[in-house]
Each structure stands twice: as structure tokens, then as C-alpha cells.
Amino acid sequence: DQQVKQNSPSLSVQEGRISILNCDYTNSMFDYFLWYKKYPAEGPTFLISISSIKDKNEDGRFTVFLNKSAKHLSLHIVPSQPGDSAVYFCAAMNKGTYKYIFGTGTRLKVLA
Amino acid sequence: DSGVTQTPKHLITATGQRVTLRCSPRSGDLSVYWYQQSLDQGLQFLIQYYNGEERAKGNILERFSAQQFPDLHSELNLSSLELGDSALYFCASSVGGYGGELFFGEGSRLTVL
């Protein structure tokens, strides 16, 4: 049972444009969400997080939006840069447990 | 550099064998998580320890076991290995077992022939 879903395995975007990565979840008990970036041969690195009490969180070029009623979150990268090319994972957790559940990832390619 | 150290980076072994993967968390982190990534799959949660105690369990096979030692390093033991166990195994650590971000190591790539 995949509780966190990233339905787009890949995405290509032109440099300077906006990249939008999407993530859906099924467990309404999730209350904390994170995005990670992964380059080949490296471990995932933390990008940005959001608590369920918020609907938006920004950090530089990265913004995460949370729509609790739709059980959907998205990561916006503006402007996209070639160095952003990587696999992006969303993750969710219920703070009442200790499990971080990850999606299957979306491979972003930013074209120069 | 996340501060999380995993050894070995690469491991090739045969079916039926047993291996041990080691993880040293970031200094000060009490919680260790283990994840498995097979081919282009997502990160499958295996198990979590907090200050030496098991706190959460995911889809960990009975052939797999883990522990966290008093110095907080952790080991993941994989036995009776099968071809399907070939994967990247990631360790992550965090300050506490309740929320916050995870810091990942570079992973241990296991190949079972």
C-alpha cells in the first residue's frame, strides 16, 4: 500500500522556468511533510519541509504548498537551474509515529 | 557531507550468505533509520532505533535484523540473501525520534549474485 505517491516518474523543464513536482498521500494522519533531493551515488539531502498547520513554506527558490483537503503537496522551484537536475522524493510522517514514508521519486531534468 | 557514515560503500556476495551493514549517525543524533532502495523504487522504510531501542518497524523481512549499540552506531544484518535483496541500503539519523529532518548517509550498495 503506497501511502505517498509521486505519479510523475520524470519531468523536463527549461532553465529559468518553473519546475512543479507533485505528491499525493492517502493517510490523513500525516502531519509533517518533507522534500528531499538525490543526486546519483549520493544519499538524499533535505530541501524543505512543511507542517500540516501551514499551507505554504518558502526557502529561497523552493516553495512547498500543502492542500490538506486534497491530500496533495507540491514543490515549486523558481527559477530552475541545471544543477537542480536530480531525483526528488517527497516524504510524510505522522508525528504520533516515528516512520517517514517516502514516495517513489520524480526525476527532474533542467535543460540549459 | 551529511555527517552520517555508512560502510561498506559496495558489497558483492552470493545467495545464501550473510552480510552486515554499518552506520555511524551524526554526532549528537540519537535516532537511526534504515531504508532500502531497489532499482528505481522509492525508499522503503525498514526500521528505526532511538537511543538503543527499537521505535518503529516497516517492511523489514524476518531474514533481516538490526540493532543500535550504546555508542549509537547501528548495524543492519541481512541473512540467507536472495537475488532480490540486491539494493541500495541507506541509513539516516536525526536528533530525536519525533519529527525533524533526516540526514542520510551515502548508502551501501549490495549486489547478490
Share of chain A above pLDDT 90, in %: 88
- DSSP lists the bridge partners of residue A48 as A35
A23 is written with which cell numbers?
A: 505528491
Chain B residue with the nearest C-alpha to that of A94 = B99
Residue B99 or A100, more confident: A100
Over chain A, what is the mean pLDDT?
94
Between B96 and A110, the more confident residue is: A110
**Which of B44, B55, B104 is facing A98, going by the closest CB pair?**
B55
β pairing state of B74-78 and A10-14: unpaired
For testing the chain B interface, which of A30, A98, A99 should be mutated: the one with the most B CBs within 10 Å? A98
The set of residues, in sequence order, having a beta carbon less than 8 Å from that of A58 and lying 6+ positions away, is none
Exposed/middle/buried for B30, CB within 10 Å: 0-12, 13-18, 19+?
A: middle
Q: How many CB atoms lie within 10 A of CB A103?
A: 25
Of B90, B57, B61, B37, nearest to A103 by C-alpha is: B37
Nearest to A35 by CA among B38, B51, B102: B102
Q: Minimal Cα–Cα distance from A102 to chain B, Å?
A: 6
Note the pLDDT tens digit of each residue in B53-64: 999 899 899 999
Contacts A101 to B, Cβ<8 Å: 45
Using the Cβ of B70 and the Cβ atoms of chain A, whether some distance falls under 8 Å is answered with no
Residue pair A110/A15 in contact by the 8 Å Cβ criterion: yes
Lowest mean pLDDT among A5-19, A44-58, A92-106, B51-65: A92-106
Least reliable range by pLDDT among B3-12, B67-76, B92-101 = B92-101
Closest CB to B42: pick one of A41, A95, A104.
A104
B3 touches A at CB < 8 Å: no
